[in-house]
Amino acid sequence: MILSPGDAREITDRLLARSKADACIVKLEGNDGANLRFARGNATTNGAISKLSARVESHFGKRAGAAEASGRDAEALADAVARSEEIARLAPENPELMPPLGPQAYEAGAGYDAATAAVRTDRLAAEAKPAIAAAQDRNVDTAGYATAQQSFTAVATSAGLFAHEPRTAAEFTMTARNRAGTWSGWAGVGETRFGRLDMMRIGARAIDKGAHDAAPVALDPGKYTVILEPSAVGDLVGWMLWYMGARFADEGRSFFARKGGGNRIGEKLFADAVTIVSEPADVVAPEPTFDDEGLPRRRTVWVEAGVLKNLEYPRFWAQKTGHAAIPRPRGFVMAGGSASVDDMVRDTKRGVLVTRFWYIRMLDPQKLVLTGLTRDGNFLIEDGRIVGPANNFRFNESPVAVLANVLALGPSERTRGGENEDSLAAAPTLLVKDFTFSSRSDAI
């Protein structure tokens, strides 16, 4: 359920008025969305989902507690205020508890599109149908997912803050597998605006990748030159950003810790071409304009020309260390270049083009080494041309090494990650040397 700023404020005002605590933070969240799934050319599941919840955090001195209730039942919401106070009274003191924020100034966000908010399942089905039909024409099986949703977040505090932001999101992903199950291709994009999703084009891309009957070339594990498409790049960079907390670095338990104390802000860690930014006003991958506490998100440069420029500073750690508070990144844009995939293929003597990754997990936080697998579109490149499908691999590799080994970048574009359906990233295709494939995967 979506509440306008006025309606949201009416509820947060009432809840704050009920508060008996020293300080109180109320957060409202709601969403309305439609989704549609299909497989083997048939609809499987779908849904029209409406959610609404209120989270109330109460402070008594340095004691804090929070309670959340869904729906819009007045008693349930009032009960959340009372429960949060009960917890806060019984909780031990937290010396690091920060008081609620007062009024803030926010950048104009670019994360909402009224047309997207109006999309229903019938529209999803109508736009997916031609892509499914095209797959049948090319004799491949399809499985896919389409969704469009709107949401809002409102944060209000007893210190006078009120913030409200509407957001929209849309997505189409499709997998195309040959009938024998011996090869598979995928394409997918997440967007703020449904109108930017071209399902037919995404579907055609998945079909082009998947419609191969030749057995994949069997490659041995080892170091390869790779062309990583934006989905794969977005996943690796997203994992790295998740581990970019200043506190862990300062405490000596992060790749971004400096040996002997402190962190590595200011060090050149990556190739010159690597710049990574988060920005609410970015039209391709706009971050939300504030975080859970109502702290403004502003344009933040994480990496510029290969140099680490910023880490995440929660409010307490920022105060303790004398930095400005920087919220945890919710989305990012990795700057691109001008190289086309054709250029990269032409410049590759022997390598692998990777469509996307799957099941990425941390293997060694000390060096930020991740493990994961390639999936749905590995292609062997030899002597400047794509030879054909190649087997999938497991990789054990660090995004730090990948971003240090960048040889060329394509234009940055909005991606959809392998696992994280809330990914909010724009990334380029990268040509990278010495990527570590550690074992072969028989999976198709």
Partner 1 sequence: MDRRRFLKYAGCAACALGAEHLLHGSGAAAAEAYGALDPAARLKLADMALTLAKGAGAGYADVRVGRSQAEFIRAREHRIEKFDAEIRVGFGVRVLIDGSWGFAGSEVIDEGEVRRAVALAADNAKAARLIQATPIVLEDVPAYQEDWVMPLGRDPFTVPASDKAEKLVAINEAALKAGADYCTAFFWFVREETLFASSRGSRIAQTRVRSYPRFEATAVDKQSGRFATRASLLAPRGAGWDYVEAQDLLGEATLAAQQAREKLAAKPVAPGKYDLVIDPTNLWLTIHESVGHATELDRALGWEANFAGTSFATPDKLGTLRYGSPLMNITADRSQPGGLATVAFDHDGVRCAGAEFPIIAEGIFRNYQMAIGQAALIGGARSNGCAYAESPTAFPIQRMANVSLEPNPQQTSLEDLFAGVDDGIYVVGEGSWSIDQQRYNFQFGGQLFYEIKNGKRGAMLRDVAYQGRTPDFWNAMDGLGDASTRFVGGTFMCGKGQPAQSAPVSHGAVPARFRQINVLNTERRDI
Residues in region 70-99 near partner 1 by CB under 8 A? 70-80, 82-84, 86-88, 90-96
> C-beta of 364: minimal distance to partner 1 in Å?
5
Contact in structure between 389 and 217 (CB atoms under 8 Å): yes
Q: Is 253 in the site for partner 1 (CB under 8 A)?
A: yes
> C-beta of 440: minimal distance to partner 1 in Å?
7
**Nearer Cβ to partner 1 (253/350):** 253
The piece of 45-53, 284-292, 305-313, 343-351 that touches partner 1 (CB under 8 A) is 45-53
Strands 42-60 and 23-39: antiparallel
The piece of 107-115, 227-235, 327-335, 363-371 that touches partner 1 (CB under 8 A) is 363-371
Q: How far is CA 411 from the centre of its chain?
A: 19
Query: If DSSP codes are grouped into helix, strand and coil, which group holds residue 340?
Result: coil
Beta strands, E only, 327-424? 332-334, 350-364, 369-382, 385-389, 392-397, 406-414
Cβ atoms within 10 Å of 118's Cβ, excluding its own: 12
The piece of 123-131, 150-158, 236-244, 290-298 that touches partner 1 (CB under 8 A) is 123-131
The correct pick among 159, 271, 301, 401 for binding partner 1 (CB under 8 A) is: 401
By CB under 8 A, the count of residues binding partner 1 is 118
Q: Is 135 in the site for partner 1 (CB under 8 A)?
A: no
Q: Is 440 in the site for partner 1 (CB under 8 A)?
A: yes
Q: Is 48 in the site for partner 1 (CB under 8 A)?
A: yes
Cα 292 to Cα 18, 153, 389: the distances in Å are: 21, 9, 45
Cα 252 to Cα 303, 406, 422: the distances in Å are: 20, 28, 30
C-alpha–C-alpha distance, residues 48 and 20, integer Å: 38
**Nearer Cβ to partner 1 (13/342):** 13
The piece of 40-48, 194-202, 233-241, 284-292 that touches partner 1 (CB under 8 A) is 40-48
User: DSSP letters of 216-282?
Assistant: PB---SEEEEEEE-HHHHHHHHHHHHHT-BHHHHHTT-STTBPTTSSB-TT-B-S-TT--EEE-TT-
Q: Taking Cα atoms as reference points, which of 37, 10, 42 lies closest to residue 26?
A: 10
> C-beta of 55: minimal distance to partner 1 in Å?
8
- CA angle, residues 304, 259, 250, in degrees to nearest 5: 70
**Nearer Cβ to partner 1 (277/370):** 370
| Surface-to-core class of residue 328, CB atoms within 10 Å of its CB (0-12 exposed, 13-18 middle, 19+ buried) | middle
- φ/ψ of 286, rounded to 5, equals -75, 125
Write the binding mask 157 to 196 for partner 1: x where contact by CB under 8 A, - elsewhere: ----------------xxx-x---x--x-x----------
- φ/ψ of 27, rounded to 5, equals -125, 125
**Nearer Cβ to partner 1 (95/322):** 95
The correct pick among 102, 103, 115, 120 for binding partner 1 (CB under 8 A) is: 120
The correct pick among 358, 379, 435, 437 for binding partner 1 (CB under 8 A) is: 358
> C-beta of 184: minimal distance to partner 1 in Å?
7
> C-beta of 304: minimal distance to partner 1 in Å?
21
